[in-house]
Structure 1
C-alpha cells in the first residue's frame, strides 16, 4: 500500500506562488521600461542618453554598441543583472577600472537618459547605430 503524504498540496502551492511571482516580475519589468522605441527612433530622454554615451566617450571602453570587447565589460550583458540603482552607483562612484563620474555634471544630470539608452540596448529594444528622436 502506498503511503499518502501531505507535501503534494504544499508543493503545488509553492509552484503556483513561484509562477505568479514570475508573471508579476515580468509584467512589472515590461511596465517599467525607461525608454520608448519605434525602429531607430527613441524618446527624447533615451536619445539624450545615446548622445551622452557618445559625447562622454563611453564607447572607448564599452564599444559603440555597449557590447564591450576584450577586457572591457559589455553593458548590454551587465544590465541584464543589475538594477538602475546599481548602474547609477557604478557610474557615479566608479568600480574597478571604471572611473567615477560624480564630478562630471553632464553625466550626473543625464544619468537617467544614459540608463534608458543602455537598458534599451540590453533589453534588445534599442537598435545599434544612429538614433533619431520620436515625433
Structure 2
C-alpha cells in the first residue's frame, strides 16, 4: 500500500476529520466538481534505508495534506483536526491481522494560501509516514 493510500485510510478512520469533510478525502488533484470542504493527499518524497542485507522493507515517505475550503477559517480548522488526528498516530489499518501498520509524525511544512479570486482557501501540511 502506498503512503498516500495509508494516509487517506487513516484520515477516513478519524471521526474528528470526517465530521468536517465527510468522506471527501482523495488523492491530489481533487476530482472536478467535488463539493468543498475536502482534503487532498499527495506524496512529495519517499526513501528507504539500505542495510548490508539490502532494503530495510520499512519505507518512509513525506505526504502533503491539502485542506481545501471556501473560507480561510474552515481550511485552518480542518488542518487543526488533521494535525490532532495524525500527530504521533500508530494506525494499524482495518485488516486482521494488520498488514498495513503506519506511523505518522508531523513535519515542519504548514502554510496557508488561497486562489487568486479568493474562491477557495487551503492549508497545506506535511507528515512523515513509515509503514511495513
Please indicate the TM-score interval, normalised by the length of the shorter structure.
under 0.3
| Structure having the larger proportion of residues in strand | 2
Q: Using CA pairs under 8 Å that are at least 6 residues apart, name the structure with larger relative contact order, 1 or 2.
A: 1
TM-score by length of 1: 0.27
Whose Rg is larger?
A: 1
TM-score by length of 2: 0.27
| Structure having the larger proportion of residues in helix | 1
